């Protein structure tokens, strides 16, 4: 019995991973065609595009795993049913609950892999991909350190300690160097606001080192024709989808301590928690479609069923999540309800097919 259960487990895992990789390949192909529109802008060449696709693949794999598990399990279990292997297993003493348990164990392993990728790989690679594209398109060198965001453009070095939003910066230092590498002008501003066309600095202190003695100047505000682009800063703004569950939990605490709304971040946090469970639910959804349907259903028909269910669940999940934000629903409920609804349908199907 253990051999047969292990066989089902391995086949379901193989089918789910292969289906997810196929979906990922298709998604990367469409993304590649979209990225070609930026080819040649700045330093964004083919090498940058392929690296960008590689860096965004972990996050896409993480998000596609539930759909891949559904499609892969439908194909795998369907093939076992068409080849009469499931019938032979049941004749050998493997019960339907035993088959379901083997599928569940496969789902648990896939859920663990998905959770690890979503927690430790996807957030880092996604932020790196966003920064890679932004800096390549702008032909600028940028990095984020514990001392804030650093940007270099030629002989100008900019240090930004606070990024509230793309259009609002705080604690900015600007260093302009001479061609020989010596400091010419050092500027500090408490705040910078982007009005859609240019930056405006506020509470400015400027020091000039080109003459002796050093001169200083204080200004309340001034326009800043900066190389800093808001879309480049977007790579460094705290975005919930680019954070791990641990980081999201810390960010929620920070927002609450500072009296700020945290609903969007809380929903992203619970989405991180629920997503690996969705993989298990999708496998359970596939089981009644195999055990309860006729065995002569073709692979093409199963693909149509899998794609329809996968897209339907994805749209339902996204729409319900947006409704949760609009109507201030409990974030745990809005993140978990679509998966719970799918689980209820899967259990109903399993009872009907028994």
pLDDT, tens digit, 9 for 90 and up, residues 37-53:
888 777 788 988 999 99
User: Is residue 292, in this structure, part of any structural domain at all?
Assistant: yes
User: Is residue 232, in this structure, part of any structural domain at all?
Assistant: no
The pLDDT, as a whole number, for residue 181 is 75
The pLDDT, as a whole number, for residue 201 is 85
Cis peptide before 213 (omega within 30 of 0): yes
Please give the average per-residue pLDDT across 237-252, as a whole number: 76
Q: Same structural domain for residues 100 and 172?
A: no
Residues 6+ apart with CB under 8 A from 29: none
Could you tell me which residues are beta bridge partners of residue 156?
Answer: 153, 176
- The residue ranking higher by pLDDT, 171 or 167, is 171
The pLDDT, as a whole number, for residue 116 is 93
What integer best gives the mean pLDDT of the chain? 82
The pLDDT, as a whole number, for residue 172 is 85
pLDDT, tens digit, 9 for 90 and up, residues 98-119:
888 888 899 999 999 999 999 8
Q: Same structural domain for residues 263 and 326?
A: yes
User: Is residue 236, in this structure, part of any structural domain at all?
Assistant: no
Q: Same structural domain for residues 271 and 326?
A: yes
Is pTM beyond 0.85 here?
no
Q: Same structural domain for residues 123 and 187?
A: no
> Does residue 154 come out as left (phi exceeding 0), alpha (psi in the -120 to 50 range) or beta?
left
Please give the average per-residue pLDDT across 222-240, as a whole number: 63
pLDDT of 134 higher than 80:
no
The pLDDT, as a whole number, for residue 293 is 55
pLDDT of 212 higher than 80:
no
Q: Same structural domain for residues 111 and 160?
A: no
| Range 228-231, long-range pairs (CB < 8 A, 24+ positions) | 228/151, 228/158, 228/160, 228/169, 228/199, 229/134, 229/138, 230/166, 230/167, 230/194, 231/134, 231/166
Domain that holds residue 348: 2-138+241-353
The pLDDT, as a whole number, for residue 58 is 95
pLDDT of 92 higher than 80:
no
Q: Same structural domain for residues 151 and 283?
A: no
Q: Same structural domain for residues 128 and 265?
A: yes
Q: Same structural domain for residues 185 and 204?
A: yes
Binning pLDDT at 50, 70 and 90, where does residue 233 land? low
Q: Same structural domain for residues 208 and 295?
A: no
Domains held by the chain: number? 2
User: Is residue 56, in this structure, part of any structural domain at all?
Assistant: yes
């Amino acid at each position: 019995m253990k051999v047969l259960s292990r066989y089902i487990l391995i086949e379901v895992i193989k089918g789910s991973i292969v289906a997810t990789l196929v979906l990922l390949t298709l998604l990367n192909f469409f993304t590649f065609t979209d990225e070609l529109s930026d080819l040649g802008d700045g330093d964004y060449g083919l090498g940058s595009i392929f690296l960008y696709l590689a860096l965004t693949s972990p996050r896409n794999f993480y998000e596609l795993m539930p759909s891949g598990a559904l499609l892969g399990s439908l194909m795998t279990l369907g093939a076992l049913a068409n080849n009469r292997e499931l019938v032979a297993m049941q004749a050998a003493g493997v019960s339907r609950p035993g088959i379901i348990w083997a599928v569940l164990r496969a789902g648990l392993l896939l859920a663990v892999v998905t959770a690890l990728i979503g927690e430790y790989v996807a957030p880092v690679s996604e932020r790196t991909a966003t920064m890679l594209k932004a800096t390549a398109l702008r032909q600028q060198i940028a990095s984020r350190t514990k001392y804030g965001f650093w940007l270099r453009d030629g002989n100008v070095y900019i240090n930004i300690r606070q990024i509230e939003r793309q259009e609002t910066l705080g604690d900015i230092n600007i260093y302009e160097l001479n061609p020989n590498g010596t400091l010419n002008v050092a500027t500090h501003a408490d705040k910078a606001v982007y009005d859609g066309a240019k930056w405006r600095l506020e509470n400015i202190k400027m020091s000039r080192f080109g003459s002796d003695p050093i001169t200083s100047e204080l200004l309340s505000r001034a326009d800043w024709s900066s190389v800093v682009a808001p879309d480049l800063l977007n790579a460094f703004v705290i975005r919930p989808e680019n954070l791990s569950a641990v980081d999201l939990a810390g960010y929620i605490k920070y927002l609450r301590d500072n009296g700020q709304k945290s609903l969007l971040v809380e929903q992203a946090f619970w989405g991180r928690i629920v997503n690996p469970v969705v993989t298990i639910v999708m496998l359970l959804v596939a089981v009644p479609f195999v055990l309860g349907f006729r065995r002569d259903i073709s692979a093409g028909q199963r693909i149509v069923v899998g794609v329809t269910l996968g897209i339907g669940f994805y749209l339902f999940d996204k729409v319900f999540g947006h409704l949760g934000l609009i109507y201030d629903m409990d974030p745990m409920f809005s993140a978990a309800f679509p998966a719970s609804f799918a689980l209820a349908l899967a259990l109903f199907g399993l009872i009907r097919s028994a």
